[in-house]
A and B are shown apart, each in its own frame.
Chain A
C-alpha cells in the first residue's frame, strides 16, 4: 500500500515534469500561429514529433480557444523540479538557490520567497524528496531492479561497490568550493535538474544535451553498485540530509516485537541503512520500504519533535 502510494507520487511528478515542457512547447506553437504577422514569418514548426502531434490534434479537433487567451494561461505553469512556476508563483529548490547565491555573492530577494516551501518540506520531512519525488530516484530504482534481475536470472554477478556514504558530503563541499570560485559545477550534478533538463531538451529539440552523458554515467555506476549514486555520491541527497536532523517524520522501530535475528528491513532499505539496529541517522529518505517489508510490523512512521 505504502509502496503503491509512493510509486504513484513519483510517477505523478515525472508526468508533471514531462507535461510542463510539453505545455510550454504547445504554447510557443500556439502563439506563433496566433500572431503570424508580428511573430517570425517563416516558422519551422514541423521540426519535432510533438509539433506533428499538435498538428494532428488540431486537424482532428479544431481547438475552440484562441491563442491570446490560452497562452497567458499556459505561461502561468512553467519550469521543472528545479524551479517551478505554478499560477505565477515561483518555487525554487533551496539547494540551487544557495548555489546561485554563493556563486554570485548576491542575495536575490524574490528567491528567498521562492525557496520557503522546499526548505520547510526538507526540514519537516527530511530527505523525503529523494524517495518520493526525485525522478532520478525512480530511474535508479528501475536500474536497481534491472541489476537484481541480471544477477538473479542471468547469473551476471555484477559487483556491488560499497563506498562510505560520507563521501557525498565531501563532494557537496567540493561543489561549494568551486562555487566560491564562481563556477556552479554542482548545478550539473543535481539529479532532478539533470533529468528535467534532458526531458526539456528532448521535447524541444529531439536531442539530449551534455547532461545525458552524466545521467548515463550515473546509471552505469548504479549497475555496478547497488543504489550507489543515491547512497554514496549524490550531493543533493547530502544537502537534504544535512537539513534533516530536525525532521518530524521518522522511522521508528518498536523493540518489543522485533525478533533479534531478523534483518529484512536492512536488506530492503534503499539507502543502505540499518533499521534493525536503529542506525538510521540522516540518510533516511522516508521511503517506507522497511515498514512494508517488516514481517513483524514493528517499524512505523513516528510523527513528532525530537529524536528516538
Chain B
C-alpha cells in the first residue's frame, strides 16, 4: 500500500503542508482587497454563501447571450477569484434568466423568465442617479436610461420634468448604466452588498 512509505519525517512535512495550505486558505484566502462589492448575476444567493457555493465552472458566463457575465481576477482576493460578476458599464444584464437555470450548484437560484417573478426575486443591486452630472437634472433633455430600462415605470420613473427617478423595485440589471451618454456615467448600479456605499453616494451626489 501507498501509506507504507510514511515515516516520521514525511508525516511532519506533510502535516506542515496540510496546516500551511489549510490555514493559508482559511485566513489569507479571506482577505479582500477590493473596495466595492461585485455586482453578481441575477438570482445570486447572499454574497457570503454565494462565494462558498460557486464552483467556478463558468457555465453562467458561457450561457449568457449578452456576454455580460465576467469573471473576477485575483484583485478581489482568493475568495472572489473566478466568481461571476457583471460590469454594467461594459455590458448590462438583459434579464433573460438563462444563467439562473444553468447553475449546477444552486449558487444562482432558478428564476423563471417572467417579468413579475423577475421584479419580485431579482435583487442584484440598485441604480443611483448622480444628479450633479445627469443631463436631465441639468436643464437638458436626455432620457436614455428610461428608454433602456427593461422595467420602465416600475424600476425607473420619469418625474414631471422628465428626470429619472429610481424606485425601490429596481433590480440592478445595469442597462441604464450601460446606455448612459454622460462620461462618467451619471447613473450607476451599486451592488446589493454595498448598501453603505449607496447611501453615501445618494447623500453626496444625489442632491
Binding site for B on A (CB under 8 A): 20-21, 24-25, 27-28, 31-32, 38-41, 71, 75, 78-80, 82-83, 85, 90, 92, 96-97, 99-100, 103-106, 108, 110-111, 114, 164-167, 169-171, 173-188, 193, 196-197, 200-201, 204-205, 209-211, 241, 281-283
Contacts and interface: CB of A to CB of B under 8 A. Distances in A.
A79 to B, nearest CB: 5
Interface residues of B, number: 58
11 contacts: A31-B65, A39-B94, A75-B102, A83-B55, A92-B105, A106-B53, A164-B6, A166-B5, A166-B14, A171-B18, A176-B22
Contacts of B3: 166
B71 A174 contact: no
Interface of B: 1-3, 5-6, 10, 13-15, 17-27, 29-30, 48-49, 52-59, 61-67, 70-71, 73-74, 78-79, 81-82, 91-92, 94, 98, 102, 104-106, 175, 178-179
A209 B55 contact: no
B181 to A, nearest CB: 11
A82 B10 CA distance: 32
Interface centre among B13, B49, B54, B55 (most CB of A within 10 A): B55
B24 A185 contact: yes
Contacts of B94: 38-40
A243 B136 CA distance: 64
Q: Which 8 A-B pairs have the closest CB atoms?
A: A178-B25, A177-B22, A181-B26, A174-B21, A185-B25, A183-B29, A170-B14, A24-B62
A130 to B, nearest CB: 15
A183 B25 contact: yes
Interface of B is mostly: helix
A283 to B, nearest CB: 6
A174 B19 CA distance: 6
Given A24-B63, A32-B66, A80-B58, A178 B52 contact: no
A155 B116 CA distance: 70
Nearest to A95: B55
Given A71-B65, A171-B17, A185-B21, A96 B55 contact: yes
Contacts of B70: 205
B23 A281 contact: no
A90 B104 contact: yes
A193 B71 CA distance: 14
A200 B58 contact: yes
Given A96-B55, A165-B2, A177 B17 contact: no
Contact of B56 (A38, A180, A187): A187
Contacts of A186: 25
Given A20-B62, A75-B63, A100 B22 contact: no
B24 A28 contact: no
Contacts of B55: 82-83, 92, 96-97, 99-100, 184, 187
A233 to B, nearest CB: 9
B57 A177 contact: no
B31 to A, nearest CB: 10
Contact of A178 (B22, B54, B58, B67): B22
A32 B30 contact: no
A34 to B, nearest CB: 9
B62 A21 contact: yes
Contact of B71 (A99, A179, A209): A209
A170 B79 CA distance: 21
Contacts of B52: 100, 103-105, 182, 184
Contact of B82 (A71, A100, A174, A210): A210
